[in-house]
Homo-oligomer: A and B are copies of this chain.
């Protein structure tokens, strides 16, 4: 029994077409830039946004299929959702919030409260049980929302950035907690996150969504090994160049040429690691380096003992150099420089 969703939907400027499948017990992480449509995908799965086309099938049950005129209301889908903005009910106590789903499913009051209390305890909010959600801080509210969704024992759990508002201390603990609970949970889970660490730590598979389309699906390692979008490249911290390979070189739409050690002709991506890039004031003469691109320093960004230098030019790049190198070069934004990379340091794979 799995979740199979084939989503087509237009909302304002968003044109969403996404095909996902989640196996039982599997956790799929949805990553993507702001506005990519991640939250909207979750809304479709939860039944809060009916599809225009396609279908959603949970555990073999068709819950949305416009063509067959089928739509199961959200309350009958047994789908738990942790919303991006918590959405706790302000007129109930925190305990009642967590007990809400159970009460809605007719669990006797005493049982519901007991179970809810256990959940609150688990997320470290037992002492706030009788308080109104409005006195909770951002992270506390997020944890309460998590407890509320988990308390209903859903068959599919949707989490919209559940850890985003947690503090660093709690975050690790809640992430661990979440993982432990999810391990005993035989349903499917879809997690929207911005934090690659969450995706890495929690997800079995990762799907990258960009402007309403899935651009990459696979394990975290697969996806990060061969970025196919600017977003993933930024996530991993590498330079991604796309273009067409011909005669051992990749031509970018911007007109730059990237010489490559060995690659099949055709559309391709090239990955250039910032650490592989050397920066010079002048073109290196008589060097074995096959790629040299002139450019202008756009910004210089110190991060600890490393410095990231943004270079504008036909091929915009980010290079990473040491503080020592920076000082010896005395780079300032606006300076003309040449970036150089060995062809063998560039990884290239078909697009």
Q: Which residues of A contact B (CB under 8 A)?
A: 12-13, 31-36, 39, 84-85, 131, 135-140, 143, 161, 164-172, 176, 179-180, 194-196, 200-201, 230-231, 234-235, 299, 301, 303-304
Cα separation A136 to B301 with both chains bound (whole Å): 29
Q: Which residues of B contact A32 (CB under 8 A)?
A: 167
Are B235 and A13 in contact (CB-based, < 8 A)? no
Q: Which residues of B contact A171 (CB under 8 A)?
A: 194
Instruction: State which of B138, B165, B167 has its C-beta within 8 Å of the C-beta of A231.
Output: B167
Are A165 and B167 in contact (CB-based, < 8 A)? no
How far does the Cβ of A243 sit from chain B's closest Cβ, in whole Å? 20
Are A303 and B201 in contact (CB-based, < 8 A)? yes
Are B234 and A172 in contact (CB-based, < 8 A)? yes
Q: Which residues of B contact A140 (CB under 8 A)?
A: 34-35
Cβ contacts A to B, 17 pairs, < 8 Å: A13-B131, A32-B167, A34-B137, A34-B139, A34-B165, A34-B166, A36-B137, A39-B137, A138-B161, A139-B194, A164-B164, A166-B194, A168-B195, A168-B234, A169-B235, A176-B299, A201-B303
Cα separation A236 to B139 with both chains bound (whole Å): 19
Cα separation A303 to B196 with both chains bound (whole Å): 12
Cα separation A119 to B177 with both chains bound (whole Å): 41
Residue in B closest to A33 when the chains form the complex, CB atoms: B167
Are B168 and A138 in contact (CB-based, < 8 A)? no
Complex copy number for this chain? 2
Are A168 and B196 in contact (CB-based, < 8 A)? yes
Cα separation A304 to B199 with both chains bound (whole Å): 12
How far does the Cβ of A144 sit from chain B's closest Cβ, in whole Å? 11
Q: Which of A31, A167, A231: most chain B Cβ within 10 A?
A: A167
Residue in B closest to A180 when the chains form the complex, CB atoms: B299
Q: Which residues of B contact A301 (CB under 8 A)?
A: 176, 179
Residue in B closest to A201 when the chains form the complex, CB atoms: B303
Are A136 and B35 in contact (CB-based, < 8 A)? yes
Are B170 and A33 in contact (CB-based, < 8 A)? yes
Given contacts A168-B235, A195-B168, A234-B168, contact A34 B303 (CB under 8 A): no
Residue in B closest to A137 when the chains form the complex, CB atoms: B35
Cα separation A12 to B136 with both chains bound (whole Å): 10
New contact pairs (19) apart from A85-B138, A172-B234, A179-B301, CB-CB < 8 Å: A13-B135, A31-B167, A32-B167, A33-B167, A33-B170, A34-B137, A34-B140, A34-B167, A34-B170, A39-B137, A39-B138, A84-B165, A165-B194, A166-B194, A167-B194, A168-B195, A168-B231, A169-B231, A200-B304
Given contacts A301-B176, A304-B200, contact A169 B138 (CB under 8 A): no
How far does the Cβ of A236 sit from chain B's closest Cβ, in whole Å? 9
Instruction: State which of B34, B169, B235 has its C-beta within 8 Å of the C-beta of A230.
Output: B169
Cα separation A321 to B105 with both chains bound (whole Å): 45
Residue in B closest to A298 when the chains form the complex, CB atoms: B176
Cα separation A85 to B166 with both chains bound (whole Å): 14
Are A194 and B168 in contact (CB-based, < 8 A)? yes
Are B12 and A135 in contact (CB-based, < 8 A)? yes
Q: Which residues of B contact A136 (CB under 8 A)?
A: 35
How far does the Cβ of A213 sit from chain B's closest Cβ, in whole Å? 15
